[in-house]
Structure 1
């Protein structure tokens, strides 16, 4: 199930990037057909490099902010969220593992 969700999410991201690239190419094609640039037609994806070496990006006029993974991890640790289904899954996995281990030990003791 997890692999399916991962593959599906990866495919959605890949297709969304393809749509953005297609929009950018269509904008360039419109400019090439007219033969001049019009300020009313803006590029859908705008990427600019800052002096510090980081990138500023805007998609359809909305700024995209990059985030630091360490800051995100610290923020998640502060929330200390409890996932009930994850804990139930861990308990069930431990229970099944201990039952299987007991059965294997029982049959190993017979021989």
Structure 2
């Protein structure tokens, strides 16, 4: 049994090492495919402070500010969409709470 567990752990470590090696090779291949080093291509997401001391994020090249996020949050709060699963879940949980409370009161009454 111990031999099997040892072999399994060693096999798992070898496979994990292979995954890490493959990820490194894929990264090197992507850099070689690009063909040059471009400092503008930092990543998919970056955050900086602008002149008015506000945070400004860049997501896939699209600038997003705190004001944009606040406006979107207001817009989402104004849209009161109906979610049937949410309503059904709330009704089910309220029913279960009421049933459990009634059972508890009935047991305590006896």
TM superposition score normalised by structure 2 = 0.51
1 CA distance for matches of 2:74 and 2:47?
28
Higher Cα radius of gyration: 2
Q: Identify the residue that residue 73 of structure 2 maps to in structure 1.
A: 73
Q: Identify the residue that residue 63 of structure 2 maps to in structure 1.
A: 64
Q: CA deviation at 1:41?
A: 1.9
Q: CA deviation at 1:51?
A: 1.7
SS in structure 2 at match of 1:65: strand
Gaps of 5+ in 1: 1-22, 28-37
2 CA distance for matches of 1:41 and 1:87?
51
SS in structure 1 at match of 2:87: helix
Q: CA deviation at 1:59?
A: 5.5
User: How many residues align structurally?
Assistant: 74
Tell me the C-alpha RMSD between the 2 structures.
3.1
Distance 1:105 1:88, change over 3 A: same
Alpha carbons 2:54, 2:66 under 8 Å: kept: no
Structure with greater contact order relative to length (CA < 8 Å, sep ≥ 6):
1
